Chain A
């Protein structure tokens, strides 16, 4: 019994080291879930998907913290009629993932709709057994051509 107890005690750090890490599919899913939560103003979901040290830099070059970003979603300052992300590149590292792509959004502000076509660069950090977005930075592209 004592030997078993001792073995368990010694092997605990090994279990911690062997905990699963995120893969490319889960990184993609986490980012898509983040866009979806923003579209549906799901602040509860965003709370979990965003890292506490989030830096969110929009196409206007102004940056927000997690609290500021969540407040803009909660208050409706940042509101979307549609969000169509296209993840083009995912690069995985030990505890992080760098994703980039394009997003076409129809945002609503002050009662007017605005079409936004942007490039995004996102960094996800693997923390507490899940991907958390720690940075999103966007650059405005030419407007999406009308079909």
Chain B
């Protein structure tokens, strides 16, 4: 049996290949942008769920939204790991009476999301009530098919001192 070799003209084939590659790249880029919007929304949803969980002192829900390698630096400059942060919640040493966030921007870097925003905080720590406003930055990572917060730092606004 004879096999017949089809000889394609090189230059037109390459041009066709280039056009097809460009078109598919543009298509997948569009899809990626659409996915990024959805991913940013998912980060925002995780952020809002986390604020709601700390307001309810819901340690299980909070734990689910925190990465095991969490570094949480409060506006006081005190930093805690995940275990200490959750222990403060479960022991009642820190109780958020109200946490009213305004999520500003969400930026995506692959499996990392950078969030910044502001919040009005009403917290009782070791029996001492405090109210203040903060600017915050936090970092989420995509692990185990969900967004988990791995870093947090905040600063109190100078014009809104603790009451």
Contacts and interface: CB of A to CB of B under 8 A. Distances in A.
Interface of A: 2, 6, 9, 53, 55, 57, 59-61, 63, 89, 91, 93-96, 98, 100, 119, 121, 123, 125, 134-135, 137-142
B114 to A, nearest CB: 5
Contacts of A93: 109-112, 141
A57 B139 CA distance: 15
A91 B155 CA distance: 22
B120 interface: no
A6 B137 CA distance: 49
A123 B79 contact: no
A6 B116 contact: no
Interface in B141-161: 141, 150-151, 153-158
A98 B150 contact: yes
Contact of B155 (A6, A59, A100): A59
A119 B112 CA distance: 21
Contacts of B17: 9
A63 B73 contact: no
Contact of B158 (A61, A119, A123): A61
Contacts of A55: 105, 116
Interface in B1-46: 10, 14, 17
Contacts of A140: 77, 155
Contact of A60 (B105, B151, B153, B158): B158
Contact of B109 (A100, A125, A138, A139): A125
Contacts of B63: none
Contacts of B74: 139
Contacts of B134: 61
Interface string B125-145: 000000000110101010000
A139 B110 contact: no
A94 B141 CA distance: 11
B116 A63 contact: yes
Given A91-B150, A96-B109, A98-B112, 19 more contacts: A6-B14, A9-B17, A55-B116, A57-B116, A61-B156, A61-B157, A94-B110, A98-B150, A100-B71, A100-B73, A119-B73, A119-B77, A123-B114, A134-B109, A135-B107, A135-B137, A137-B155, A139-B155, A142-B77
